[in-house]
Amino acid sequence: MVKLFPFKGILYNQKIKKAAKLFTPPYDVISPEEQDTFYNSHDFNFIRLILGKEFSADGKYNNKYIRAAAFLDGWLRHGILLQDNKPAIYVYEQSFKHGKKKYSRVGFIALLRLEDMGRGRVYPHEQTFPKAKIDRLELMRATSANLENIFTLYSDEKGKTTKVFKKFMRRKPLFDVTDKDKVRHRLWRIDRKPSLTKIIKEMRDKAVFIADGHHRYEAAMRFKVELKTKNTKFSEEEAYNHLMMFFTPIEDKGLLVLPIHRVLKNLSFFEPQKFLRDLERFYNIKAYKTTKKTAKNVRNKLIRDMEKAGLEHHAFGLYLGNHQFFLLTLKDEKMAEELMDEEKPKAWKRLDTNILRYTIFDAILGLSQQTEDHLLFVKDDEKANRIDHA
Whole-angstrom Cα distance, residue 305 to residue 348?
25
- Residues 276 and 332 occupy one common structural domain: yes
- Residues 226 and 284 occupy one common structural domain: no
10 domain residue, yes or no: yes
203 domain residue, yes or no: yes
Whole-model pTM: value is: 0.79
pLDDT reported for residue 389? 46
Q: Which of 216, 249, 282 is the last residue of a domain?
A: 249
**What's the Cα-to-Cα distance from 41 to each of 49, 178, 312, rounded to whole Å?**
15, 15, 43
70 domain residue, yes or no: yes
Geometric angle at alpha carbon 151, from 147 and 152, rounded to 5°: 140
- Residues 149 and 195 occupy one common structural domain: yes
162 domain residue, yes or no: yes
Q: Which of 249, 280, 307 is the last residue of a domain?
A: 249
Whole-angstrom Cα distance, residue 384 to residue 259?
12
- Residues 333 and 283 occupy one common structural domain: yes
- Residues 244 and 368 occupy one common structural domain: no
Whole-angstrom Cα distance, residue 43 to residue 383?
29
- Residues 269 and 244 occupy one common structural domain: no
231 domain residue, yes or no: yes
- Residues 351 and 227 occupy one common structural domain: no
How many alpha carbons fall within 13 Å on the CB side of residue 256? Answer: 15
pLDDT reported for residue 342? 77
**What's the Cα-to-Cα distance from 17 to each of 23, 48, 92, 194, 284, rounded to whole Å?**
13, 18, 21, 35, 54
Per-residue pLDDT of the chain (390 residues), as tens digits, is 899 999 999 999 999 989 999 989 889 888 889 999 999 999 999 999 999 999 999 999 999 999 999 999 999 999 999 999 999 999 999 999 887 888 899 999 999 999 876 677 888 766 677 888 999 999 999 999 999 999 999 999 899 999 999 999 999 999 999 998 899 999 999 999 999 999 999 999 998 988 888 899 999 999 999 999 988 888 888 999 999 999 999 888 777 767 778 888 777 778 889 999 999 999 999 999 898 899 889 999 998 999 899 888 899 999 998 889 999 999 999 999 999 877 777 777 888 888 998 899 889 988 765 556 677 777 777 777 776 544
Under 8 Å CB-to-CB from 273, ≥6 apart: which residues? none
- Per-residue burial over 132-144, b if 16 or more Cβ lie within 10 Å, else e, is bbebbbbbbebbe
Q: Which of 190, 224, 249 is the last residue of a domain?
A: 249
pLDDT reported for residue 344? 73
Domain limits at 355? 261-386
- Residues 341 and 298 occupy one common structural domain: yes
- Residues 268 and 243 occupy one common structural domain: no
169 domain residue, yes or no: yes
47 domain residue, yes or no: yes
- Residues 244 and 275 occupy one common structural domain: no
255 domain residue, yes or no: no
Under 8 Å CB-to-CB from 33, ≥6 apart: which residues? none
Asked if residue 383 lies in contact with residue 305, where contact means CB atoms within 8 angstroms, the answer is no
- Residues 77 and 185 occupy one common structural domain: yes
- Residues 281 and 174 occupy one common structural domain: no
Closest to 9 (Cα-Cα) out of 94, 80, 78, 110: 110
Number of domains, the chain: 2
pLDDT reported for residue 348? 72
Instruction: Label residue 101 exposed, middle or buried (CB < 10 Å: 0-12, 13-18, 19+).
Output: exposed
